[in-house]
């Protein structure tokens, strides 16, 4: 083990150390919660850790910038990192153990296995970022194998990621509950993300247009609009107020297929609005249910 700084939080760096640190908890039948992250933790991650700490005897937070979910053109080398900050937030939020491996610990020489959730991995975000969800599924399964948690926690901001993990866990009979935690937002409505750190305060204020656009679609539905094209147009009109480069704005069903035409009440009940785009070169994503009953946490 690499120490206990800050006080009360063990930090381990190898799979062997992680398994050793969890041996007694598993032998005693204690429930373990897992919060997988790529670090640079913020209040959204803190909400996941607090939820896990409330529901489990011991919470593990992984901090690993996973190279297999980045395309060659993406920001792997520039992704923000601050281990001391991550340790402090994890400990303050109730974590007992932080796992901070290096790439060679997770993908040793000769590594040849990739997990692919067919269908879900190539739609929507997967179409924009080929291979991304294979990288996500692979690292999550590795962490599940290492930690063997009773529950694993994800923020609902990455809605498709949550769907991919749920399908993988169900398909492979992984004995862990997948828990989705509501999006945490700034007072402006901007969904918290580690990538927000790339934006200035003024640019973050501009980015709040994303949540306003999604809420405009919700409002249009509440006002009686049922045509999907008209609903999406209401959101696009709001997005046009800021210099966003739109990647996609979709209304999806539970299987992540775009909904079209007139919405039935049954379709609307499970429909999800999803957005991706770039602002000043920074790629941002967000989502909300079509029906304006989302319970999100504001800070």
Give the catalytic positions in this structure: 45
List Cβ neighbours of 22 (8 Å cut-off, separation of 6 or more). 32, 58, 60, 97, 147, 148
Categorise residue 165: left if φ over 0, alpha if ψ from -120 to 50, beta otherwise: alpha
Show the CA angle centred on residue 201, arms to residues 198 and 206, nearest 5°.
90
Q: What is the CA radius of gyration of the chain?
A: 20
Rounded-to-integer distance, Cα 160 and Cα 180, Å: 11
The β-bridge relationship of strands 282-289 and 297-298 is unpaired
Considering only CA atoms, which of 13, 9, 51 is closest in space to residue 33?
Answer: 51
- Nearest-CA neighbor of 176 among 203, 131, 141? 141
190/286 Cα distance (integer angstroms): 9
User: What residues are paired with 97 via a beta bridge?
Assistant: 10, 60
| Surface-to-core class of residue 295, CB atoms within 10 Å of its CB (0-12 exposed, 13-18 middle, 19+ buried) | exposed
Structure tokens at 117: 């959730």
Residues 197 and 282: their CA atoms lie apart, in Å, by 10
């Amino acid at each position: 083990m690499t120490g206990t700084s800050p006080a009360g939080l063990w930090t381990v760096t190898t799979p062997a150390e992680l398994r050793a640190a969890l041996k007694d908890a598993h032998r005693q039948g204690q429930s373990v919660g897992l919060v997988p992250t790529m670090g640079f933790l913020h209040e959204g991650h803190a909400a996941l850790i607090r939820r896990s700490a409330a529901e489990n005897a011991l919470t593990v937070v992984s901090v690993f910038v996973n190279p297999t979910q980045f395309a060659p053109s993406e920001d792997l080398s520039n992704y923000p990192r601050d281990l001391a900050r991550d340790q402090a937030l994890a400990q303050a939020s109730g974590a007992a153990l932080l796992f901070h491996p290096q790439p060679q610990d997770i993908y040793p020489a000769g590594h040849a296995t990739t997990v692919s959730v067919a269908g879900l991995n190539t739609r929507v975000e997967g179409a924009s970022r080929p291979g991304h969800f294979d990288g996500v599924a692979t690292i999550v399964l590795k962490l599940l194998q290492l930690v063997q948690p009773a529950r694993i926690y994800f923020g609902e901001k990455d809605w498709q990621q949550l769907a991919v993990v749920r399908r993988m866990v169900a398909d492979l009979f992984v004995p862990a509950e997948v828990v989705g935690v509501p999006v945490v937002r700034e007072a402006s409505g901007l969904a918290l993300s580690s990538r927000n750190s790339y934006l200035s305060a003024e640019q973050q204020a501009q980015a709040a247009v994303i949540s306003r656009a999604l809420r405009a679609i919700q409002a249009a539905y509440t006002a009686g609009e049922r045509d999907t094209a008209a609903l999406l147009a209401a959101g696009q009109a709001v997005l046009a107020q800021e210099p966003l480069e739109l990647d996609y704005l979709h209304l999806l069903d539970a299987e992540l297929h775009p909904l079209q035409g007139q919405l039935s009440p049954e379709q609307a009940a499970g429909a999800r609005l999803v957005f991706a785009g770039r602002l000043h070169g920074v790629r941002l994503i967000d989502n909300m249910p079509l029906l304006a009953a989302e319970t999100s946490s504001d800070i």
